[in-house]
Amino acid sequence: QSVLTQPPSASGTPGQSVTISCSGSSSNIGGNAANWYQLLPGTAPKLLIYSNNQRPSGVPDRFSGSKSGTSASLAISGLQSADEADYYCAAWDDSLNGPVFGGGTKLTVL
């Protein structure tokens, strides 16, 4: 059982937009920044969004993040087949004194 809650799956067709939600509590997302990771099979997890809405260098602006209260969202516009991956949200948890993750959302590009 993951501390942060994500939908297990999401889907869209090429060119469409999709949003993935992440719900937490006051000890994690409510008081700290949300971050998002992209996991492709056989590769290292990739930081996609940090500090709620910041993109590391090299991440396309098709990826955007937002946070409101104890929830965060990842939006992907102009879906591409290469975006088919697992996406995880994460945040620092003040009670744990460590990072907590969501259960992951499998994105399918139809």
Partner 1 sequence: QVQLQESGPGLVKPSQTLSLTCTVSGGSINSRSYYWSWIRQPAGKGLEWIGHVYTSGSTNYSPSLKSRATISVDTSKNQLTLKLSSVTAADTAVYHCARNLLGSGKLDVWGQGTTVTVSS
Interface ranges with partner 1 (CB under 8 A): 2, 28, 32-35, 37, 39, 43-47, 50-51, 56, 88, 90-92, 96-104
CA neighbor of 24 nearest in space, from 65, 62, 59, 72: 72
Please, what is the minimum distance in Å from the beta carbon of residue 16 to partner 1? 25
Residue among 17 and 45 whose Cβ is closer to partner 1: 45
Please, what is the minimum distance in Å from the beta carbon of residue 91 to partner 1? 4
Residue among 101 and 109 whose Cβ is closer to partner 1: 101
Please, what is the minimum distance in Å from the beta carbon of residue 103 to partner 1? 5
Contact 101, 89 (CB under 8 A): yes
Residue among 17 and 95 whose Cβ is closer to partner 1: 95
Residue among 33 and 85 whose Cβ is closer to partner 1: 33
State the amino acid at position 100 in one-letter form: V
